[in-house]
């Protein structure tokens, strides 16, 4: 990792505060296990596989939080070049436009600038992952029946951050020497969501050609 890149990532310039796992909890142990696999240089395709005897919901919860933190950081590093002027529409090239919808202010899909969309997205994910009824932190507290549905929605929406960054801001990523880091994070994400079928193929379409080169 270059010195410039180290400075960028060591600043912890996350777009939002990090959600951390409490030491001593089962989720913290799983998080450590997942990190150890990555640090040991284990093949990413193998690293995402569910460890023997572990609960799938727990494994997915750990990764959703981890991807949120890491993708946040990636967007945070290019956010100064993603403005209402440069990116008046949240898109991935001319073919793909993403509209924002939630249960509160935007009840219908609404066209927004990329930074506005990103801000609402990160706020929305943060609310979900800090909601004990959706992401219970206490061992023994069951996950709700809707957990996988929420996890899929979070992961699908996080994919759109990759789409926007790769298609509109990759020159900035390269300029900062962060290309390898972003590519590794993307590959990790892609192998994880495809291993557990957590994102529709249709959603993955915008980066299909790049993914074919990078992950197959």
Local structure of residue 19 (DSSP, 8 states): P
pLDDT in tens, 10-27: 444 444 445 555 555 555
59-68: buried (b, 16+ CB within 10 Å) or exposed (e) per residue?
Answer: bbbbbbbbbb
For 190, the token pair is 């892609």
Compute CA distances 109 → 99, 120, 154, 156, 210, whole Å: 5, 13, 16, 16, 28
pLDDT in tens, 134-189: 998 876 789 999 999 999 999 999 999 999 999 999 999 999 888 988 998 999 99
pLDDT at 9 over 70: no
Percent of the chain predicted with pLDDT > 70? 80
Residue range 30-49: mean pLDDT, rounded: 67
* CATH number (domain holding residue 123): 1.20.140.30
Helix (H) or strand (E) holding 143, with range, is none
For 1, the token pair is 């990792």
CA 76 – CA 74 distance, rounded (Å): 5
Residue range 62-67: mean pLDDT, rounded: 92
Instruction: Determine the distance from the C-alpha atom of residue 196 to the mean position of all C-alpha atoms in its chain, rounded to a whole number.
Output: 15
Helix (H) or strand (E) holding 138, with range, is none
Residue 169 is assigned to a ligand binding site:
yes
Residue 185 is assigned to a ligand binding site:
no
The count of domains in the chain is 1
What is the model's pLDDT at position 204?
Answer: 94
Supply the pTM of this predicted model: 0.83
Range of the domain at 16: 3-215
Q: How many CB atoms lie within 10 A of CB 14?
A: 18
| Strand partners for 110 | 100
Residue 63 is assigned to a ligand binding site:
no
Comparing C-alpha atoms, which of 117, 124, 215 is closest to residue 165?
117
- pLDDT mean across residues, the chain: 84
Confidence grade of residue 120 (pLDDT, cut at 50, 70, 90): very high
Q: How many CB atoms lie within 10 A of CB 5?
A: 16
């Amino acid at each position: 990792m270059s010195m410039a890149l180290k400075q960028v990532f060591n600043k912890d310039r996350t777009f939002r505060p990090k959600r951390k796992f409490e030491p001593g909890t089962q989720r913290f142990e799983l998080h450590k296990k997942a990190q150890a696999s990555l640090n040991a240089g284990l093949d990413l395709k193998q690293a995402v596989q569910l460890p023997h005897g572990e609960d799938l919901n727990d494994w997915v919860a750990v990764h959703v939080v981890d991807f949120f933190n890491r993708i946040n950081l990636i967007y945070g590093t290019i956010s100064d070049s993603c403005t209402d002027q440069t990116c008046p529409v949240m898109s991935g090239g001319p073919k793909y436009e993403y509209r924002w919808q939630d249960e509160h202010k935007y009840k219908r899909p609404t066209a927004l600038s990329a930074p506005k969309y990103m801000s609402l997205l990160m706020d929305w994910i943060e609310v979900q992952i800090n909601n004990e009824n959706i992401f219970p932190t206490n061992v023994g507290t069951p996950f709700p029946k809707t957990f996988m549905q929420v996890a899929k929605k979070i992961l699908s929406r996080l994919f759109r951050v990759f789409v926007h960054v790769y298609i509109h801001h990759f020159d900035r990523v390269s300029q900062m020497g962060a290309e390898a880091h972003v590519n590794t994070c993307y590959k990790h994400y892609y192998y994880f969501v495809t291993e557990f079928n957590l994102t529709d193929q249709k959603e993955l379409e915008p980066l299909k050609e790049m993914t074919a080169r990078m992950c197959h």
